[in-house]
Amino acid sequence: MKKLRIGIIGFGTVGTGVYKTLQKIDSVEIVTIAVKNLNKPRKADVPVSMLTDNPYELVNDSSIDVIVELIGGIHPALDYIEAAIKSGKHIVTANKELLAKHGEELFNFAEEHNRVILYEAAIAGGIPIIMPIKTILAGNKITKIQAILNGTTNYILTKMDVDGASYEDVLKEAQALGYAETDPTGDVEGFDAAYKITTLSTIAFKTRIKLENVYREGITKVRKEDMAKANELGYKIKLIASAEIDENNNADVRVHPMLVSKNSMLAHIDYVTNAVEMSGHPIGDIVLSGPGAGEFPTASSVVGDILAIHSEFGHTDYMLPMMRCNHHSKANPVKIEDTYNKYYISITAPNAIGVIAKIGTICANKNISLSSIVQKGVSADNTADITVITERCREKLIREAVEELNDCTVNSIIRVAEGG
């Protein structure tokens, strides 16, 4: 069988892992690797003749069959991919932001030119999720996803839980260890997970989810006190990317911290591990878990996509039909204020007669039922620490109730996962 000739754009951690992995695979030949700096030291022994600082050398090379894009971001990645498709090349990418923001136009453009875009590495690193949904699970109607899709935030929350440390202290440690970027905004504010759940829910629900309709909230306001209280109540706090769709195509897609029951699988996904829990018919519930990032886990998904293309290359005029995107309908977005959730609320209140009664009355007037309300001790400043867990209620009403607690300080409001 003819060797598949590929060009790689981007030679960071993942690109290096892809290069090293492909050295052991005879059916694929790396022709050229585009890098930003030709003089930068490499973690792989690459012939200098294989490197270029001009990605368009790869894009315009008629001998290259597949472009592997690993630089991330929107521009110039979008320009390279569009030019490569136009010149007749298939695409393998790990670019979650590009897919979330421009996936629809890219997939349509690829279809017009009869080329495929594969992106297994863009969702959960080394965890196989896109191809299983498109193939083995194709006969299922998936209606719910709950996932941990960002290793940096999961590491930070795990360390806060285990060490009883503050967010700020753990973030500094994560940055020193290389688990968090110097500017961690993309991870800790939930952008990365939002990009991933946008594409994942589009594929799983077979209808298009728009990034601008995904509610996003990061972990920067989670306190070590919240971690301790969650543990006492039988929960762990995780950054959850969730998506749920009903029979009328109404989709509730979001990313935010959640209290998840210690009895749940996601509660035990710690440090940089990722996990995806899906519910559907006829499969029921299924959980896929593994390394969500890193040199070789992500390279595993990239190389798998490359070999999927190689398996059909030269044998058909319409390659990998099941892996192509054909989602022409758009889901109806559900606004966060219209969702129904259980809530954990941490309140600092004056230590006065009737305070707990007042909290109960305000909630009752908003038709909010309380599962529990606990006061623990009185501080030196004569304030009481009160923890409330509500029953399932509408978000809009919770926000209104909190506004009426004007003589109290609301420290935290965190949603509680269903079943928790």
Residue 122 clears pLDDT 80, i.e. is over it: yes
Domain with CATH 3.30.70.260 in the chain: 336-416
Residue 419 clears pLDDT 70, i.e. is over it: no
- Give the pLDDT confidence of 136-192 residue by residue, as tens digits: 999 999 999 999 999 999 999 999 999 999 999 999 999 998 889 999 999 999 999
How far is it, in rounded angstroms, from Cα 131 to Cα 308? 10
pLDDT at site 99: 98
Residue 3 clears pLDDT 70, i.e. is over it: yes
Band the pLDDT of 1: cuts 50, 70, 90: low
**Residue 58 and residue 15 in contact, taking contact as beta carbons nearer than 8 Å:** no
Residue 206 clears pLDDT 70, i.e. is over it: yes
pLDDT at site 325: 86
Report the SS3 class of residue 285: strand
Superfamily of domain 4-125+295-323, CATH level 4 = NAD(P)-binding Rossmann-like Domain (3.40.50.720)
Domain with CATH 3.30.360.10 in the chain: 130-291
**Residue 67 and residue 7 in contact, taking contact as beta carbons nearer than 8 Å:** yes
- Give the pLDDT confidence of 279-336 residue by residue, as tens digits: 999 999 999 999 998 999 999 999 999 999 999 999 999 999 999 987 779 999 999 9
- Give the pLDDT confidence of 41-97 residue by residue, as tens digits: 999 999 999 999 999 999 999 999 999 999 999 999 999 999 999 999 999 999 999
Which CA distances in Å does 417 have to 17, 101, 147, 165, 362?
36, 28, 12, 24, 23
Residue 420 clears pLDDT 60, i.e. is over it: no
Residue 371 clears pLDDT 70, i.e. is over it: yes
- What are the b/e assignments for 333-366, b being 16+ CB within 10 Å? bbebeeeebbbbbbbebeeeeebbeebeebbeeb
Which structure tokens are listed for 385? 């620490």
Domain at 130-291: CATH code: 3.30.360.10
- Sign of the C-alpha dihedral computed for residues 32, 37, 39 and 44 taken in this order: negative
- What are the b/e assignments for 3-18, b being 16+ CB within 10 Å? ebbbbbbbbebbbbbb
Peptide bond into 128 cis (omega under 30): no
- Which amino acid makes up residue 129? I
- Give the pLDDT confidence of 215-241 residue by residue, as tens digits: 999 999 999 999 999 999 999 999 999
Peptide bond into 76 cis (omega under 30): yes
Q: Annotated active-site positions, please?
A: 196
Residue 253 clears pLDDT 70, i.e. is over it: yes
CA dihedral 184, 190, 192, 198 (to 10 degrees): -170
Band the pLDDT of 376: cuts 50, 70, 90: confident
pLDDT at site 326: 75
pLDDT at site 180: 92
- Give the pLDDT confidence of 143-157 residue by residue, as tens digits: 999 999 999 999 999
- Could you tell me the pTM of the whole model? 0.96
- Give the pLDDT confidence of 377-413 residue by residue, as tens digits: 888 889 999 999 999 999 999 999 999 998 899 999 9
Sorted by sequence, the CB contacts under 8 Å of residue 299 that are 6+ apart come out as 14, 17, 18, 20, 21, 121
Strands 250-261 and 273-281: unpaired
Averaged pLDDT for residues 239-267: 98
Provide the CATH topology of domain 336-416.
Alpha-Beta Plaits (3.30.70)
Closest CA to 192 of 135, 145, 247, 147: 147
